[in-house]
Amino acid sequence: MKTVRVLVGTVKGAFFLRAPAARTAWQVEGPHLPGRAIYSLAHDGRAERRRVWAGAASMHWGAVLVATDDWGRTWEEPQEANVKFPADTGLALKQIWQIAPGLDDEPDTLHCGVEPAALFRSTDGGKSWEVVRGLLDHPHRERWTPGGGGLCLHTIVRDRANADRMWIAISSGGVYRTADGGRTWAARNAGIRAEFLPEKFPEFGQCVHKVVHHPSRAGRLFAQNHWGLYRSDDAGDSWQDIARGVPSDFGFAMAIHPHEPDTVYIIPIESDQVRVSPEGKLRVYRTRNAGRSWEALTRGLPQRHAYDIVLRDALATDTLDPAGVYFGTRNGKLYASKDGGSSWRLAVDGLPSITCVRAVVVDDRRPALRPKARQSARR
């Protein structure tokens, strides 16, 4: 029996929602990791795993990657912090913003993106992590500047057709691409406007908020910028403005449809100086033609005095058909759509401020492969 699990990270722990594939009623479990800020979650279903990773940060005790193989009943908490900057860098980890399991044919590879902006890689299933030096030592680094959320590497996009190619995004540094597995990186921001800089089209320094990619369109990317919506059809070499018909081109969240590569979702926000839903209406916008036009999705969403916003990783899709779409708000509401965004229901209200959302479809009858030996503490 297929079950949909929606993983919700908040500033005070994680919550896991569960529903049968019909997605009509949601059961909420949690809080997991109570009191810790969960800015990143990822499900790793490769190699028969059923593992959920969480980037868990305590204001006091720092940030670590923790994992569960039983949907949060038990967690592996490493004795030694598993994501650490080398001593020679002088840097100290603040937050883990993104966890990206690797391609299907590299089942023990994962990446994570962190603050201060850096990329880490594991090739042993997450037991050990190393900083990607090619990006850490990039000459642009000294001129990257923190956005409102800090200087964070918040987006990792793998190219499923080419294991050596990857894109990452930094606020505020912009989009960078490697074509050699991370040894070298090139800024890829041509055409993206930096409203907050005197030079409007610099090589780098843009405040990109999220980049999405569909595996069936190798060279196409979509980006929600601090200001601006963009599409690239040449793997990031150039970007075109696609912000036509949206109430604001400022926003954080962006997600792509699992089966329709031209369908993208965003949730606009009224300017960086105001940061509420435009006109007090909570609206998801959807394009079904790769950004040539956008439509407001409002059915089931509050359209009066709704001053809620959605952060960059708090919008996600599942892989069913029709696709489920989910978003969580800073005011702790989790909305769910089972028809590709055409209509919405409030799945749960009253959670702590939501930082990230992920959706996964699993066959609950299949037993997960569990690691034979556990080296780390449980809690």
Partner 1 sequence: MTRVVVLIPTPLRQFTAGRSRIPVDVTETPPSLGGALAALWDVAPGVRDRVLTEQGEVRPHVNVFVGAESCRWTGGLGTPITDGVEIAIFPAISGGRAR
List of residues contacting partner 1 (CB under 8 A):
58-62, 64, 77-81, 84-87, 90-93, 377, 379
> Looking at the DSSP assignment, which residues form a beta bridge with residue 156?
168
- How far apart are CB 35 and partner 1 at their closest, in Å? 9
Q: Closer CB to partner 1, residue 244 or residue 374?
A: 374
- How far apart are CB 37 and partner 1 at their closest, in Å? 13
- How far apart are CB 219 and partner 1 at their closest, in Å? 38
- How far apart are CB 83 and partner 1 at their closest, in Å? 9
> Looking at the DSSP assignment, which residues form a beta bridge with residue 250?
269
Q: Closer CB to partner 1, residue 58 or residue 289?
A: 58
Q: Closer CB to partner 1, residue 31 or residue 251?
A: 31
Give the up-direction half-sphere exposure of residue 223: CA atoms within 13 A in the CB hemisphere.
38
- How far apart are CB 87 and partner 1 at their closest, in Å? 7
Give the up-direction half-sphere exposure of residue 173: CA atoms within 13 A in the CB hemisphere.
30
Q: Closer CB to partner 1, residue 89 or residue 238?
A: 89
Q: What are phi and psi of 134, to 5 degrees?
A: -60, -35
351 DSSP assignment: P
Tokens, residue 14: 């994680």
In whole angstroms, what is the distance from residue 113 CA to residue 168 CA? Answer: 8
Is the Cβ–Cβ distance between 131 and 86 less than 8 Å?
Answer: yes
Alpha helix positions (H), the chain: 133-136, 271-274
Is the Cβ–Cβ distance between 66 and 365 less than 8 Å?
Answer: no
Q: Closer CB to partner 1, residue 60 or residue 304?
A: 60
Contact residues for 262 (Cβ-Cβ < 8 A; gap 6+): 287, 288, 289, 290
Q: Closer CB to partner 1, residue 25 or residue 81?
A: 81
- How far apart are CB 141 and partner 1 at their closest, in Å? 17
Q: How far is CA 270 from the centre of its chain?
A: 21
